[in-house]
């Protein structure tokens, strides 16, 4: 029996890394501010993130704060102080239920094995009242995690919490932003201390803005001044493209203070092609023919004049100078590309393109003839390109869609695309 107990303890030590955070609730804004002030001003915590109903406080994680260096900090809040893991306290300002639950709502155990441990708890006869699931906390910055709740043997509420999902999301954001920059290429790019300054004579926001991809070493205000001067020299407005990455939070705050405002909030959506099931393959002629309706889908590795002649009016690019800029941008793409067209009675009624790199397919430039909208041709060209890209080795498809474009968002959701993160542009008023 002792051997069995020892094995269980060893397993628990491997699974549970420490206590992630303590959550508390107060009943009014005045008490909320008093509690936040106590933990920040007296005990040296700092605000890690805020949301509409609460705040998450963290110790410095270096063993210097009052709570982190005391007995409570070592044994309850930080787990092993040698790791530098910060103590965390979550405070809510929505006092309903405070008398039923008390001031402390629950405690959370940090683990990367939420599903496994929740299953063990349930198998032992305890109620798992919130099954394992992924969550996105709409804080600033946005926070991704996986969690589950159960009642312990004394009736206590325990949360299993995996915040490594946030780290994985940070890596995914950087990865997809790099791929998107290779699929939608600016005419000129300058790398400046981890930021990408893109210039394309004003055509598209993505190709004429500052993208923050990597950590900085130069003071942020100095960098903003430099970027503003660069874009002024190009006779372009200075625009910053920011994502929900935590690395963008300080910049967002600085830009707001300078009078910048948010424009064009956009979501990055991803589709795992394996989840689509069977996608019909295309024949060797690279076209699909529907003889009953005289409709076919054609493909090419470069943009044909016929494709461009349809794309420009459908997208509303009628200025010859802007058309030439777009041609130059397409010519600068170095990764594999596919251009698709839905042809009806000899006329292109819908078109789109794909850029494929590292198993990911960027679906972009999706347009449909105004006279043919609502007939399913947008969906047809998208599915056709996805199927073709899968044949070429793509395992995922991703795209950017403006949040206010409900028609396009609905189409991509029906195809199975799911949001991974958001981005927006900051522009001076």
For 244-301, what is each residue's pLDDT tens digit?
A: 887 788 899 899 999 999 999 999 999 999 877 655 533 333 344 455 568 999 999 9
CA of residue 268 relative to chain centroid, distance = 6
The CA distance from 408 to 327, in Å, is 24
pLDDT, tens only, 169-187? 888 999 999 999 999 999 9
Query: What pLDDT score was predicted for residue 101?
Result: 55
Instruction: Write down the number of H helices and E strands in the chain.
Output: 13, 20
375 pLDDT higher than 60? yes
Domains and CATH numbers, the chain: 2-163 (3.10.180.10), 167-265 (no CATH), 271-421 (3.40.630.30)
Q: Which two tokens stand for residue 407?
A: 């028609």
Do you know the residue count of the chain?
Answer: 429
Q: Which two tokens stand for residue 360?
A: 């990911």
The CA distance from 123 to 366, in Å, is 49
Query: What pLDDT score was predicted for residue 134?
Result: 80
DSSP label at 140? B
pLDDT, tens only, 103-144? 677 888 888 888 888 998 898 888 999 999 888 777 766 677
Opening angle at CA 98, ends 92 and 102, nearest 5? 100
Find the range with the poorest average confidence among 57-66, 139-148, 417-426: 57-66
Q: What is the mean pLDDT of residues 389-403?
A: 96
Phi then psi dihedrals of residue 248, to 5 deg: -95, -5
- Which parts of 207-259 are beta strand (E)? 210-212, 239-243
Q: Could you tell me which of 411, 424, 420, 426 has the C-alpha nearest to residue 381? A: 411
Mean pLDDT (the chain, rounded):
84
Most confident by average pLDDT, 137-151, 156-170, 310-324:
310-324
Q: Which two tokens stand for residue 41?
A: 């001003």
Contacts of 113 (CB under 8 A, 6+ apart): 15, 162
Are 61 and 84 contacting, i.e. CB atoms less than 8 angstroms apart?
Answer: yes
For helices 249-257 and 220-233, angle between their N-to-C axes, nearest 10 degrees: 70
The CA distance from 124 to 79, in Å, is 25
Terminal CA-to-CA distance of the chain, rounded, Å?
71
| Residue 1 confidence class, pLDDT cut points 50, 70, 90 | very low
Run of H or E residues at 267: strand 260-272
7 pLDDT higher than 70? no
Which residue, chain included where needed, has tokens 């397993």? 11
Which residue, chain included where needed, has tokens 């899968």? 390
Q: Could you tell me which of 303, 267, 269 has the C-alpha nearest to residue 386? A: 269
The CA distance from 23 to 25, in Å, is 7
The CA distance from 325 to 322, in Å, is 5
The CA distance from 54 to 93, in Å, is 6
Query: What pLDDT score was predicted for residue 162?
Result: 87
Query: What pLDDT score was predicted for residue 89?
Result: 84
Of 135 and 324, the structure prediction assigns the larger pLDDT to: 324
């Amino acid at each position: 029996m002792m051997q069995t107990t020892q094995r269980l303890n060893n397993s628990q030590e491997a699974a549970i890394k420490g206590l992630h955070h303590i959550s508390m609730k107060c009943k009014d804004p005045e008490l909320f501010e008093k509690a936040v002030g106590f933990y920040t001003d007296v005990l040296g915590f700092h605000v890690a993130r805020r949301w509409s109903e609460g705040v998450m406080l963290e110790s410095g994680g270096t063993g210097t704060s009052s709570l982190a260096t005391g007995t409570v900090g070592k044994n309850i809040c930080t787990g092993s102080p040698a790791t530098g893991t910060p103590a965390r306290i979550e405070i809510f300002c929505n006092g309903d239920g405070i008398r039923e639950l008390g001031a402390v709502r629950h405690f959370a155990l940090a683990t990367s094995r939420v599903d496994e441990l929740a299953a063990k708890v349930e198998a032992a006869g305890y109620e798992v009242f919130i099954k394992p699931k992924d969550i996105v906390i709409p804080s600033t910055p946005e926070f991704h995690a996986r969690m589950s709740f159960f009642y312990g043997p004394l009736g206590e509420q325990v949360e299993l919490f995996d915040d490594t999902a946030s780290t994985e999301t940070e890596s995914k954001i950087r990865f997809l932003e790099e791929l998107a920059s290779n699929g939608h290429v600016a005419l000129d790019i300058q790398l400046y201390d981890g930021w990408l300054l893109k210039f394309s004579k004003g055509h598209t926001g993505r190709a004429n803005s500052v993208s923050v991809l990597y950590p900085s070493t130069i003071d942020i205000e100095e960098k903003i001044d430099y970027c503003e001067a660069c874009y002024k020299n190009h006779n372009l407005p200075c625009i910053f493209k920011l994502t929900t990455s935590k690395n963008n939070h300080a910049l967002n705050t600085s830009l707001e203070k300078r009078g910048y405002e948010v424009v064009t909030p956009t979501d990055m959506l991803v589709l795992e092609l394996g989840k689509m099931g069977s996608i019909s393959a295309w024949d060797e002629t690279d076209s699909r023919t529907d003889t009953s309706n005289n409709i076919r889908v054609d493909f090419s590795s470069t943009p044909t004049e016929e494709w461009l002649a349809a794309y420009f009016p459908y997208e509303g690019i009628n200025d010859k100078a802007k058309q030439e800029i777009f041609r130059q941008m397409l010519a600068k793409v170095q990764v594999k590309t596919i251009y698709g067209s839905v042809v009806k009675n000899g006329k292109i009624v819908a078109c789109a393109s794909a850029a494929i790199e590292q198993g990911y397919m960027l679906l972009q430039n999706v347009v449909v003839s105004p006279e043919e909208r609502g007939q399913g041709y947008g969906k047809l060209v998208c599915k056709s390109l996805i199927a073709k890209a899968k044949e070429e080795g793509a395992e995922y498809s991703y795209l950017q869609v403006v949040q206010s474009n409900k028609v396009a968002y609905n189409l991509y959701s029906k195809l199975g695309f799911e949001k991974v993160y958001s981005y927006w542009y900051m522009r001076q008023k």
